[in-house]
Amino acid sequence: LTYDDVEIALDSFLEGGMSPSDMVAALIVELPHREIGGKCTPWPDIMKIRNKCRKDGVIENSNKCRKDGVKLHCDGARLFEASTWYGMNLADLVKPFDSVYISFYKGLGGLSGAMLLGDKGFCVEARKWLRRFGGNLYTLLPYVVSGWSGYKRYWKCRDGQMTFAQKREKLTRIIADMKADEDIANTVSFDPEVPEVNMIHGYLWSSPDQVNKAIAKVEDRHGIRVLKRVRPVGEATSAHLEGFKSMFELSIGEANGQIQDETFISAW
């Protein structure tokens, strides 16, 4: 998602004869964008989007939003991972946003749960809607405990775990080595070209059935499972138009982060 994407989308509302009831109330920016391989919106674009969404910005002058401006929400389920790409602390990274969502069970490895952050009025209203939608569990203690434990282990790395930056660096090395191997490079293509977080998407010319058979054969012969899940490429995607038939998501976590880089290459 870039500033140009936002500008085009908002302009389309105005050109479409938007009625007052259809006015834009909020804009969500996911950091990082999982569905496109963990790419991160450039920081200058985030700031331009923030300025465009303010009530004294371009949107209000064009009658494209409510009087109090368009609220900017961050879907930060993997915000800890994204912070390594921007090279910023979390406090500075979320400053442009009116509200932020973070997950406890993804990068932090908690049982489940998440946190929604915003100003006091926003959080008071959100609590009401949480209850209305049935989110009034008897206790949140197990989720709080596991989330706090994950925070200390995977963000503070108090027990010597890999940092998110180290996980991204390892993935970057592996992808670079795979591209340097002619046989592998002719088999798979990656998007983005260079990992922006500890996740990347890969595309294969073979069908999911062919790929899964090859994965099983390698695992049987060498005891190494290359990929956990392969899925077909959507027909409406640019990858499909290029001729790719399968795709996968590769991420580095605490477990596979301990595997030697050479093992990944030999398996491929």
One-character DSSP codes across the chain = --HHHHHHHHHHHHHTT--GGG-B-EEEEESSBGGGTSB---HHHHHHHHHHHSTTSHHHHTT-B-TT--EEEEEETTHHHHHHHHT--HHHHTTT-SEEEEESSSTT--SS-EEEE--HHHHHHHHHHHHHTT---S--HHHHHHHHHHIIIIIS-TTSPPPHHHHHHHHHHHHHHHHHSHHHHTTEEEESSS-SSSEEEEEESS-HHHHHHHHHHHHHHHS----S--EEPPTTSHHHHTT--EEEEEE--TTGGGS-HHHHHHH-
Question: Per-residue pLDDT averaged across 65-69, rounded?
Answer: 59
71-76, strands of its sheet edge to edge: 26-30, 71-76, 99-103, 114-117
Share of the chain above pLDDT 70, in %: 91
CA–CA distance from 242 to each of 45, 64, 209, 246 (Å)? 29, 37, 19, 12
Share of the chain above pLDDT 90, in %: 74
Sorting pLDDT into bands at 50, 70 and 90, what band is 240? very high
Distance CA 102, CA 9 (A): 26
pLDDT of residue 17: 63
pLDDT of residue 24: 76
pTM: 0.88
Query: Residue 20: pLDDT above 50?
Result: no
Question: Per-residue pLDDT averaged across 194-207, rounded?
Answer: 97
Question: Per-residue pLDDT averaged across 241-257, rounded?
Answer: 95
Of 69 and 160, the one with more pLDDT: 160
Give the closest residue to 248 by CA, choosing from 37, 47, 107, 53.
37
**What does the pLDDT look like over 98-130, one tens digit per residue?**
999 999 999 999 999 899 999 999 999 999 999
252 Cβ contact partners less than 8 Å away, ≥ 6 residues apart: 167, 168, 170, 171, 174, 198, 199
Sorting pLDDT into bands at 50, 70 and 90, what band is 61? very low
Query: Residue 58: pLDDT above 50?
Result: no
Lowest-confidence region among 25-29, 36-40, 192-196, 243-247: 25-29
pLDDT of residue 26: 86
Of 70 and 68, the one with more pLDDT: 70
Query: Residue 16: pLDDT above 90?
Result: no
**What does the pLDDT look like over 71-105, one tens digit per residue?**
899 999 999 999 999 999 999 999 999 999 999 99
What is the residue-averaged pLDDT of the chain? 89
pLDDT of residue 21: 45
pLDDT of residue 62: 45
Sorting pLDDT into bands at 50, 70 and 90, what band is 51? confident
Sorting pLDDT into bands at 50, 70 and 90, what band is 171? very high
Question: Per-residue pLDDT averaged across 241-255, rounded?
Answer: 95
Q: Do 267 and 224 contact (CB within 8 A), yes or no? A: yes
CA–CA distance from 201 to each of 3, 157, 171, 212 (Å)? 23, 26, 12, 17
Query: Residue 43: pLDDT above 90?
Result: yes
